Amino acid sequence: MTQLGEIAALGLEGLAEAIRQRQLSSLEVTRVAIDGLQRHGRRLGYVAGMDPEQALADAAAADRRLAATGSVGPLHGVPLAHKDMFYRAGRVSACGSRICADQVRDVTATVLTRLDAAGALDVARLNMVEFALGTTGHNEITGSPGNPWNPAFITGGSSSGSGGAVAAGLLPAALGSDTGGSVRLPATCCGLVGLKPSYGRVSRHGAMVLSWTLDHVGILTRNVRDCALMLQAIAGADPADSTCSARAVPDCLATIEKGVEGLRIGVERDYFYQGVEPAVARHVEASLEVYRALGAEIVPVTMPGLERANPLTTLIIAVEGASNHAVWLRERREEYGKQTLGRLLAGLTYPATHYLDALKLRHALLQSFEAAFQQADLIHSPVLPFQVPTIAESDLAANPGFSEYVVATGHCTRPYNYLGLPAISVPAGFGANGLPCGFQLAGRPFSEPQLLRAARAFERETASTGRLPALD
């Protein structure tokens, strides 16, 4: 019988190939995934819901289709699962909340439709922070998932179940959403590759809205090539999402192995390294040395005004979130968790002029990045400024200091939501506490091929991905 570890070692690309070549059946792979989610995923808090019988029926149908046609999509028969905020018509999406716990959706998210078309199976709904409003993974309603490397530690959030389940090897890939770091933070906490694509690269139709200015659909995988494969499947124009770009989707896998010779990597130190723990800074600096050894040039850059991005992201999330939640804030207030309620209520207190100021200031900060991109192709930085904390020590709920803590965790990630620039979190080893650590690369709009290429070069050189935690 095929074991979870053997399947996990194949990754998404290898698993899809093994199914396509009929070395493995979708049914046996899906059985292993379901069993893993039942045994480990539920215990660790990753599963929001699943229908094993339907998943196995879908897998059997995928096997029959492969046998009948021989020609299938690039992810045919591979079991995936996603953050519980991508709607599927006829199915509940609870969004990590009590309010939506029984809400059956009447649309299917474009990203799910595209993964369906690629042949992937959708076998479960994965836990998340309530309404995606949180960076640590805590959820006082559904429970706080444990990091698969040590369940006493956070997974990061808000795509907590996606990060945990993929890192544990239960699934090869999962979708998350990233409004202030909610894909890249779980990626760095769990030792995964986490991509927040450019604003407009991936449709958000049928995904829960938190903040329409800052929301991005993102990807969590255990290696860089799998991340590219997922992006190819979900990216591209969508008439159902007016913010989705019509730009053609380049073949990221075609250039991913080309290395970083001649790449200019920009390093901004006044903001991105402010308050970064020395243990984290050492890992991040070491990754720069790897790039230097691979032929990249490390270039110091400055970006005046960068310090405004994080607090103004807080403002935009709060105001747009409060607008979206206005009815429930009036009528179902007692059903929210305390921190979620506190952050949404804060959104009611900003004058409209401050919200518009925050939107106008994006242009000024993007001009700073424009200047930096004259000198550098990509910007390198930490992801999480401190080592992964335990669930207990970061469980601030709505107690004093929680606002500052949220802002601190998003220090390095939120500027890229504010500006819509693509950014990727890349695993860079393990800290003294035994938990993963990563660094971040960001680029110009629609530079995903370059980001993935640079991330892949580091991964190939250091073998920084691929390790699996012991689950028992």
Catalytic residues: 83, 158, 182
Residue of the chain from 308, 431, 460, 461 that contacts another protein (CB under 8 A)? 308
Which CB atom, from 60 or from 359, has the smaller least distance to another protein?
359
Maximum Cα interatomic distance, the chain, rounded to a whole number of Å: 62
| Structure-token match 């990249």, residue found | 296
Q: State which of residues 93, 314, 387, 465 lies at the interface with another protein (CB under 8 A).
A: 314
Kindly state whether residue 351 participates in binding another protein, applying the rule CB under 8 A: yes
State the helix-helix crossing angle for 26-36 and 52-69, rounded to 10 degrees.
Answer: 160
Contact at 8 Å (CB) between 156 and 388?
Answer: yes
Distance, in Å, from the CA atom of 265 to the CA atom of 260, rounded to the nearest integer, reads: 10
For residues 83 and 414, which CB has a smaller minimum distance to another protein in the complex? Answer: 414
Does position 420 interact with another protein (CB under 8 A)? The reply is yes
**Binders of another protein among 146-205, rule CB under 8 A?**
198-199
Question: Measured from the CB of residue 452, what is the shortest distance to another protein in angstroms?
Answer: 13
Helix, strand, or coil (residue 205): coil
Part of the chain binding another protein (CB under 8 A), chosen from 28-36, 56-64, 179-187, 262-270: 262-270
Please, which residues have CB within 8 angstroms of residue 297's CB and are 6 or more apart in sequence?
A: 262, 263, 264, 265
Query: Given the rule CB under 8 A, which of 21-29, 56-64, 272-280, 438-446 is the region that contacts another protein?
Result: 438-446
From residue 415, give the alpha-carbon distance in Å to each of 12, 268, 311, 418: 30, 13, 9, 5
Q: How many residues bind another protein (CB under 8 A)?
A: 59
262: contact with another protein by CB under 8 A: yes
Please check whether residue 390 is in contact with residue 276, taking contact to mean a CB–CB distance below 8 angstroms: no
Contact with another protein (CB under 8 A) among 57, 240, 254, 356: 356
Q: Which stretch binds another protein (CB under 8 A): 51-59, 169-177, 362-370, 381-389?
A: 362-370
Alpha carbons 395 and 117: distance in angstroms, whole number: 40
CA torsion through residues 251, 253, 258, 263, sign = positive
At residue 429, what are phi and psi to the nearest 5 degrees? 110, -165
Rounded CA separation 171/7 (Å): 9
Q: Which is nearer to another protein, 319 or 428 (CB)?
A: 319
Report d(CA 154, CA 323) in Å as an integer: 29
Q: Is 140 in the site for another protein (CB under 8 A)?
A: no
Residue 229 Cβ vs another protein, minimum distance, rounded to whole Å: 19
Q: Which stretch binds another protein (CB under 8 A): 142-150, 172-180, 287-295, 307-315?
A: 307-315
User: Which structure tokens are listed for 105?
Assistant: 């959706």
Distance CA 202, CA 26 (A): 27
**CA-to-CA distance for 139 and 328, rounded, in angstroms?**
18
Minimum separation from the CB atom of position 404 to another protein (A):
8
Q: Which is nearer to another protein, 61 or 315 (CB)?
A: 315
What are the tokens at 352? 């409209």
Among the residue ranges 65-73, 82-90, 106-114, 308-316, the one whose residues contact another protein (CB under 8 A): 308-316
Binding of residue 357 to another protein (CB under 8 A)? yes
Place of tokens 């006082």: 140
The CB-of-97 to another protein minimum distance in angstroms stands at: 18
Single out the segment in contact with another protein by CB under 8 A; choices: 158-166, 217-225, 444-452, 457-465: 444-452
Q: Does 404 bind another protein (CB under 8 A)?
A: yes
Binding string, 88-127, against another protein, x = CB under 8 A?
----------------------------------------
Pairing of strands 121-126, 79-83: parallel
Q: Would strands 423-430 and 378-382 be described as parallel, antiparallel, or unpaired?
A: unpaired
- In DSSP terms, 382 is beta-bridged to 439
Give Cα separations from 253 to 247, 249, 269 (angstroms).
18, 11, 32
Which is nearer to another protein, 295 or 300 (by Cβ)? Answer: 295
- Residue 235 interacts with another protein (CB under 8 A): yes or no: no
Instruction: Give the residue with the Cβ less far from another protein, 92 or 315.
Output: 315
Examine residue 352 and tell whether it contacts another protein (CB under 8 A): no
At which residue do the structure tokens 């790039």 appear?
A: 291
Beta-bridge partner residues of 381 = 440
User: Residues interacting with another protein, by CB under 8 A?
Assistant: 198-199, 247-248, 250, 262-264, 305, 308, 311-312, 314-315, 318, 330, 333, 341-343, 345-351, 353-364, 366-367, 369-370, 373, 377, 398, 400-404, 419-420, 443-447, 450
